[in-house]
Amino acid sequence: MKKFQTLLYYCYSPIAEAEQFAADHLKFCKSLNLVGRIIVADEGLNGTVSGAKDDCAAYMDAIHADERFAKTEFKIDDVEEPTFIKMHCRYKSEIVHSGLRDTSIINPNERTGKHLEPADFKEMIDQEDVIILDVRSNYEHSLGRFKNAITLDIENFRDFPEKIAELEQYKDKKVLTYCTGGIKCEKASALLLHHGFNDVYQLHGGIIKYGKEAGGEDFEGKCYVFDNRIAVDVNTINPSIVSKCYNCGTVSAKMINCANPECNEHITQCDDCGSELQGCCSSACMDHPRKRPYNGSGYYVKVPQPVNLSIK
C-alpha cells in the first residue's frame, strides 16, 4: 500500500496581502512535513504538494476550511515516495503568467469557458463541429496529447496570446481546451472569449482528472507533470506512445531536462542516447563545465534561489 500522496490543485480567489500569505503558508506546509511547489498571487493559489497521506489530508482540510478556497478541487495521486525534495511557496504576479499587460480582461471568476466533466468531454471530442485545443507548452504536448488535438508552438503559456490570430479560422467551431490540471484553460478560454470566440469549453480538472474518471481514452502518450515523476500514465483503455527521442528519433516516452543547467531543455530522450550524451541534448552541452552528473532519471533539483520564501 502506498503511504504518500501528491496533490495537484488551483483556486482563483482573491488573496489580500498575498505576499505575507505566501510566507505564512510556507511555514504551515513545513509544519505538516510537506514538500512541493506553490505559487501565490493576488488572484489565488496554484500548487502541487506531496507528503504522507495524513499530512495531505490535514492540508486539504485546512484549505477547504478557508472560505476563500472552499471550492478548491484536489487531484490526488497515491505515490511510493514524496515527489519533491523541498518545499517552495512563492509570491508572483499571477498564478499562471499570461504575458498580458492588462490581466483584467481574463478574470476566470468573471468569465471563462464552459466546464466539461471528463465524460462530457469524451462524448464531444469526435463531433464534426468541434476542435480540441492543447494550451500547453511544446515539451508537454510533444510527450502526450489528445488524438487530433491542435497544438501550438509555444515555450510558455505567456506565449499563448500571440497565437490567437492563428486560431481565428476556428471561430465558428466549438473549441474544447485542455491542459494538465485545468488552470491554464481558465485563462486560455477567457482570452478566446475576449477575442470573439463564442463557443468555448474547457476540460474540468484537465488531463489528470480525465485519466482518473474517463480512463484517459484517446489521450496519446504520457502526461508531463511538474514534479520529479516528470511523466505519468493517463490512458488505461487504448494507450500509445507518440513521442520520439530528440537525438535519434526512436520512439521513447522518457522525458528529461538537459544535464547542462544553462540549457536545461525539456526533451524526450531514449536510454541509449542518454547514456551516450550523459543526459545532455547535444555534444556541446555534454562538454559544458557545469554539466550535472547523469543518474539515468533526467530529473534535477533546481538550484535554490536567494529568496526569503524557500527552504534552504
Instruction: Give residue-wise pLDDT tens across range 215-267.
Output: 999 999 999 999 989 999 999 999 999 999 999 999 999 999 999 999 999 99
Catalytically active residues, by annotation: 179
pLDDT of residue 298: 84
- For residues 130-151, b (16+ Cβ closer than 10 Å) or e, as one string? bbbbbbbbebbbbbbbbeebbb
Percent of the chain whose predicted confidence (pLDDT) is above 90? 93
Same-fold call for 4-91 versus 103-224: no
pLDDT tens-digit map of 120-134: 999 999 999 999 999
Q: Cell 500547453 maps to which residue?
A: 136
CATH for 4-91? Answer: 3.30.70.100
CB 55 within 8 A of CB 32: yes
Check residues 311 and 230 and name the one with the higher pLDDT. Answer: 230
- pTM for the whole structure: 0.91
One-letter amino acid for residue 25 of the chain: H
Residue 87 pLDDT greater than 80, yes or no: yes
Measured between alpha carbons, how far is 63 from 71 in angstroms, rounded to an integer?
9
CB 145 within 8 A of CB 124: no
Domain boundaries, the chain: 4-91, 103-224, 244-300
103-224 is a CATH 2.60.40.10 domain: no
Measured between alpha carbons, how far is 36 from 21 in angstroms, rounded to an integer?
17
Mean of pLDDT over the chain: 94
pLDDT tens-digit map of 3-39: 999 999 999 999 999 999 999 999 999 999 999 999 9
Residue 309 pLDDT greater than 60, yes or no: no
Percent of the chain whose predicted confidence (pLDDT) is above 70? 96
Angle (nearest 5°) at CA 141 between 120 and 296: 125
pLDDT of residue 302: 60
pLDDT of residue 305: 41
